[in-house]
Amino acid sequence: MNISILYATLTGYSESVAMDLSGILKDMGWEVTMTDVTQLAKPHAPLEGNIIFGCSTYGDGDLNDIAEEFIESLRSAKLDLSHANMAIFALGESIYPDFCGAGQLAKEAFESLNAQVIEPIMSIDTLELDQEKKKQDLLSWATHITTAFDV
């Protein structure tokens, strides 16, 4: 019953979502570890099991630089993620034309390394001020993805 949350953040919002998610998952009975991808040892230990990856969107609907570097390091190490059961959340602001575009890019990158990615990707709008709605959205997404996780 383990879940590893990996996050790549520039200004801390993705970390704060990771913390909220961790609390929700622990309440559901999962054991959760949270790791900033910049703290992962390189070359990476095999990534396997239940993994939630979260990052923000920058540029023109791009992965943030830290997420980009992380994914690039997985690619150059030619890691095989076929034993990783993944879910993805992406942060962004709904004023941008490519809202939360990083989520789809991360999905494509992980799938190209053979990971299983559970749909849907969760898009989180930093401009959403309704904290209760944010919490409910996270809770229903967490409830959904965990049905596809290995126990």
Binding site for ligand FMN (CB under 6 A): 9-14, 56-61, 64, 91-93, 96, 98-101, 126
Strands 31-36 and 2-8: parallel
Give 9 or 85: the residue with its C-beta nearer to ligand FMN.
9
Take residue 36 and report the two structure tokens written for it: 């900033």
**What are the φ/ψ torsions at residue 69 (nearest 5 degrees)?**
-65, -40
CB of 46 to ligand FMN, least distance (A): 26
Give 86 or 124: the residue with its C-beta nearer to ligand FMN.
124
CB of 104 to ligand FMN, least distance (A): 11
Integer angstrom CA distances of residue 147 from 112, 114, 120, 132: 23, 20, 13, 23
Give 50 or 57: the residue with its C-beta nearer to ligand FMN.
57
